[in-house]
Structure 1
Amino acid sequence: MQNPTVVIGKIRPGRNPRKYFDPVQMAELTESVRLDGVVQPILIRPIEDDENGHEYEVVAGERRYRAALAAHGEGYQVPVSVKVLTDAEAARLALIENVQRADMAPSEEAVEAAHIVGLLKGDRDEAARVIGWSRSTLDKRLALLNCSDSVLEALNTRVIQLGHAELLATLAKDKQDKLLPVIVSEKKSVVELKKTIEAAACSLESAIFDKSDCAACPHNSSLQTEMFGEAIATGNCTNRACYTEKTDRKLEGIAYGLKEEFPIVRIVRAGDNHTRIQLKVDGPTGVGEEQAKACHACQNFGAAVSGLPDSIGKVFSGQCFDTACNQQKVAARIKAERDAAKAPAGKQGAGKPAAATKGDKSSAAAEKPVTVISESEKVKQYRTELWRKALRKEVAQNAEQANAYLLAIAMHGLSRNIGGDVMGKFFEKLTEQKPSSTLQGCLTAVHGMDVGRRQQLTIGMTVAAIDGMEVSNLRELCRYHKLDLRHHWNLQKSQDFLEMLTKSEMKVLADELGIRKVLGDGFAKLFGKSKAEVVAGLLAVNGFDYNGKVPKVLGY
């Protein structure tokens, strides 16, 4: 069966892991395609909204694509295989196709592997499985991404070997660039380079951990009995395992100190290039003001602690760890702005509101914030207990309603949720008598109660059923009851709820309830303080009416 063909001018190059194309081999391939055409179809995928009008993108076969374009021009009908693929699927197939060819540089593999790790939200185990590598192979390739551009280029063009690059990747990039010309000019072997690097193993000057223990350590290369203060500043640690362990502990300590402020904190290392992106409001990679507020409450928003030699220990806040989602939000903002710009001025109000201009505080977008607070397990447990407590309180005030709910609960087969021990305790509290251990005794005791106490016992049974109810049924009961949480929750009495949130989530809460507006310029000042001070400040905002305001995350 003959493969379909597509005019090559409708196809654009894709994300090719291969950056180096041997000029001699490309010239030979181009001449072959000029004489015989493209024999093996290239793999392409459909695309939309391309600025240059392309309809397809190359997934695998860029060398053939380049050769055909050079040999026959944009009108050439090239044989293709068309597949509908996501970005992640396309990246995976492109990498596999190139890895299976022996002449692909490890640095090129590293770049694309990092892209796949990013699409999988940093899950290296899954990335290794998808690519078909072992985890150790993946980690070794990703470590190459700490190489400087000149070292990567040298590896791409086969000027240095993989072993050279792996050793240079352990150094700061400026040091790599100083060593590279020496390696090339003196033709140093991998073994010779290893000895050079081990001699100057780990710089104590750039160490981020407490170096007091290094003063008398035999592994300190500059250890001297006198003038030690000067020596330690320029010395090196020759015990890499100890140096690495202390560095890792320090990085973990930095990350731990940020956990109260951000939903997620990660230590990033070589190869994590595509696992995070700086969240921006405006510009080419901006998500827009309202979406940025929502992102602050997302479980994938947080801070990165650098584990890279050039920026070891540095904290990068405002990071999005779901790069694919971020790209979608950026694309949505750009599309919305384009659509708004194309719409006639008189019709912008008829459909969706136009994008808000800078300083426009009355925009429709500002009236409908899309912010949310993360539904962590702690928040879910808090919310469920709030529903139970509010329902218990209202049901206890209406015996007739309690009776109706109890009958419905029994009809639905949920009466098993009412524990006999719970009812026994309630009976004992009501009558000051121990409940009987036999059915005959219980019948006699209930029959002897007056109507008022029987109603109270019915209420007690309903309350017990509510306490034992699964969350899905509890939510259904709340909806039927039309439970109004505004009568049961107040922020000023809910310090425990605030303490469950990160500072970023508290900003979302302040936006949602209207506290930011009341604080005005004092908002930024408040959130510049510690978490404990922010909590205290939010509980005592002058001029803010706390009544009747419940965050959406507590709703049913």
Structure 2
Amino acid sequence: MQYPNTLRLGDIRPGRNPRKYFDPAKMAEMIESVRTQGVIQPVLVRPLEDGSHELVAGGRRVRAAREAHGDDYAMPVVVREMDEFEARSLALIENIQRDDMAPSEEAVAAAEIVGMCQGDRDEAARQLGWTRAMLDSRLALMNCSASVLEALNTRTIKLGHAELFAAFTKEQQDKLLPVIVKEGHTVADLKNVLERASCSLAAAIFDKADCAGCQHNSAAQAEMFGESIGTGNCTNRNCYNEKTEKQLDATATGLRDEFQTVRIVRPGDNHTRIQLVAEGTKGVGEEQAKACYACQNFGAAVSGLPDSLGKVYKGQCFDTVCNMKKVAARIKSEKTEPVAAKAASAGGSSKAKDATKADKSAAASPAPEATVVAESDRVKTYRVALWRKALRREVSQDAALARRYLLAVVATGQARSIDAGPVNTVWERLIDDKPAVGDFGKAATSAAALDADAEGKMMISITLSAIQGVDVSYLMQMCRHHKLDLAKHWKLDKEFLELITKSEMKVVADELGLRSAMGDAFKKVFAKSKPEVIDALLSVDGFDYAGKVPKVLKF
């Protein structure tokens, strides 16, 4: 498709420019330049479904052109096809790599990129070209109050001030900021206050029984800052932080029996999670929501932020990009429905209000039940090990079958998967001599001396090594061709149950028939701790565990 080289400026929709502050002097210079020479470097836009175009990169040039020439100006453009996620990512990276971006704006942009990387800060730092320390320093600014960020944007305070402010609650920040600005206190002054007064015992989430008589429990000396900082603080910051972290870990650990993913969220993790809802403007749809409950990225967040320390948020999606695409797909699907069908099913504005209420109360609502067992990395590892073990066990009983499978493995280019180590062990046992590495003649002579039975054992050992080493996709092909019956090799065990949540155990119990076998005791059992639930599921009187395999373990 041929795209235009210019577009009428007024026809370009605003994009998602992460910049909020534009230096007045530099902006004036750009406007004057554009007024006399026009825009030399094209801006980047993307085409939308309705035929319009949205700005992706070049916000300052657009501002300058509009000021200098108005909406009828023929704006030079580069048009590129991209989805919403690609546009957002490119806009963030493009802006953040410019050296005149405010640190607070860098923090907001970096936090979005961390979200797009599913919370992987190392990957986000790589994309930004930053060190991990630089990234963490910027992300810490995300805990600054709006007034502190504004002061940083306008250069009223220094970056060092803002980094220290981030350790306080937003209420404390807003009380301290006017004092810092009015009296001209240095970064060192603020650091001194932080060290003495930020560890509020009233806000502590750990058991404070040992703090009552501690020598570090004292009222903060606040003569410099009046009533900005309250009393009853711990002056041993290291001890305070250590106890806080232990309590956060304990809270997270208590949730891992219930959810697939549990994370402690820190400043800068703003975009790494989103409340999963079925309806409303951010809803993924009823059916999709059910599937999301079983996703390995579904779970709970424990706040490590000063303003909500220790608070638990259940029903979180930790793949915000996937969630965004699901919401977009739901909206697109609804737009294509006939108007009459939409009117019949929408239920009016009350439905939207109900969704909004549900969204607000989601943090305190019970966790939704899983509908399937999530294919987490741990479950996948367990499952693949089961497939390899079962197939190896059956092939080891039939030398002719092993020979056929080995020929097929070699013929399909999978010989590289054969590990010589286990094969050499069998060779040494059969021939009573170590294999001659690099000496083909000696090895061939030794192989010729093998009788039929020993040769068959060697074929089996080579095939078993291949089964252990082939890629998972190829292993699945082997299992399906062999018509491997996992029921002959597996029954419910503690190792498997420990890999899944209590909610997922209910799914397994339904699939295997355990819920019916347990009757009225089933609900009572699941009110207990995870270890007690596991013991109960593995000791149901009269239940035949043999021959029953849950869907998540099948190939």
In the alignment, is the contact (CA less than 8 A) between 2:502 and 2:526 conserved in 1? Answer: yes
Shift of 1:488: 5.6
Shift of 1:18: 1.3
What secondary structure is seen at the aligned counterpart in 2 of 1:470?
helix
What secondary structure is seen at the aligned counterpart in 1 of 2:123?
helix
Determine whether 1:40 maps to 2:40: yes
Determine whether 1:49 maps to 2:49: yes
In the alignment, is the contact (CA less than 8 A) between 2:277 and 2:284 conserved in 1? Answer: yes
Residue 380 (structure 1) aligns with: 381
Equivalent residue pairs, number: 485
Counterpart mapping for 1:50-449 below 5 A? 54-59=52-57, 61-83=58-80, 86=86, 87-97=88-98, 100-101=99-100, 104-222=101-219, 235-341=232-338, 371=372, 373-377=374-378, 379-385=380-386, 388-389=389-390, 392=393, 402=398, 404-409=400-405, 411-412=407-408
Partners of 1:488 and 1:21 lie apart in 2 by: 67
Counterpart mapping for 1:480-491 below 5 A? 480-485=481-486
Q: 1:513 to 1:373 in 2, by over 3 A?
A: farther
In the alignment, is the contact (CA less than 8 A) between 2:396 and 2:464 conserved in 1? Answer: no
Partners of 1:109 and 1:536 lie apart in 2 by: 51
In the alignment, is the contact (CA less than 8 A) between 1:41 and 1:81 conserved in 2? Answer: no
Shift of 1:555: 1.8
Q: CA RMSD in A?
A: 4.4
Residue 470 (structure 1) aligns with: 467
AA paired with 2:496? F
In the alignment, is the contact (CA less than 8 A) between 1:119 and 1:324 conserved in 2? Answer: yes
Shift of 1:253: 3.0
CA-to-aligned-CA distance 1:504-524 (integer Å, 9 cap, x gap): 543554677798999999998
In the alignment, is the contact (CA less than 8 A) between 1:423 and 1:461 conserved in 2? Answer: no
AA paired with 2:130? W
Q: 1:199 to 1:500 in 2, by over 3 A?
A: closer
Residue 553 (structure 2) aligns with: 554
TM-score (norm 2): 0.72
Residue 355 (structure 1) aligns with: none
Which stretch of the first structure deviates more once superposed, 523-532 or 241-250? 523-532
Partners of 2:20 and 2:510 lie apart in 1 by: 47
Partners of 2:376 and 2:193 lie apart in 1 by: 52
AA paired with 1:56? E
Q: 1:36 to 1:520 in 2, by over 3 A?
A: farther
What secondary structure is seen at the aligned counterpart in 1 of 2:264?
strand
CA-to-aligned-CA distance 1:152-210 (integer Å, 9 cap, x gap): 22222333332332222111111112222333344444343333333424112222233
In the alignment, is the contact (CA less than 8 A) between 2:125 and 2:132 conserved in 1? Answer: yes
Partners of 1:384 and 1:132 lie apart in 2 by: 38
TM-score (norm 1): 0.72
Partners of 1:25 and 1:441 lie apart in 2 by: 86
In the alignment, is the contact (CA less than 8 A) between 1:296 and 1:505 conserved in 2? Answer: no
In the alignment, is the contact (CA less than 8 A) between 2:403 and 2:463 conserved in 1? Answer: no
Shift of 1:442: 8.4
Partners of 2:515 and 2:55 lie apart in 1 by: 46
Residue 228 (structure 1) aligns with: none
Partners of 2:56 and 2:5 lie apart in 1 by: 15
What secondary structure is seen at the aligned counterpart in 1 of 2:218?
coil
Partners of 2:198 and 2:396 lie apart in 1 by: 71
Residue 442 (structure 2) aligns with: none
Partners of 2:123 and 2:423 lie apart in 1 by: 45
Partners of 1:123 and 1:222 lie apart in 2 by: 40
Shift of 1:554: 1.6
Residue 497 (structure 1) aligns with: 496
AA paired with 1:470? I
What secondary structure is seen at the aligned counterpart in 1 of 2:118?
coil
In the alignment, is the contact (CA less than 8 A) between 2:379 and 2:499 conserved in 1? Answer: yes
AA paired with 1:76? Y
In the alignment, is the contact (CA less than 8 A) between 1:7 and 1:78 conserved in 2? Answer: yes
What secondary structure is seen at the aligned counterpart in 1 of 2:300?
strand
Partners of 1:150 and 1:424 lie apart in 2 by: 76
Shift of 1:116: 1.4
Partners of 1:489 and 1:220 lie apart in 2 by: 58
Q: 1:188 to 1:392 in 2, by over 3 A?
A: closer
Shift of 1:65: 0.6
In the alignment, is the contact (CA less than 8 A) between 1:275 and 1:321 conserved in 2? Answer: yes
In the alignment, is the contact (CA less than 8 A) between 2:66 and 2:73 conserved in 1? Answer: yes
CA-to-aligned-CA distance 1:435-469 (integer Å, 9 cap, x gap): xxx999985xx8xxxxxxx9xx9998898677544
Shift of 1:303: 2.4
Q: 1:44 to 1:517 in 2, by over 3 A?
A: farther
What secondary structure is seen at the aligned counterpart in 2 of 1:139?
helix
Partners of 1:296 and 1:337 lie apart in 2 by: 22
Q: 1:27 to 1:510 in 2, by over 3 A?
A: farther
Determine whether 1:19 maps to 2:20: yes
Structure 1: segments with no counterpart, 5+ residues: 224-232, 346-357, 359-368, 397-401, 426-437, 447-453
Partners of 2:208 and 2:484 lie apart in 1 by: 60
Partners of 1:542 and 1:150 lie apart in 2 by: 64
Partners of 2:322 and 2:543 lie apart in 1 by: 36
Shift of 1:526: 6.5
Q: 1:95 to 1:300 in 2, by over 3 A?
A: same
Q: 1:7 to 1:257 in 2, by over 3 A?
A: same
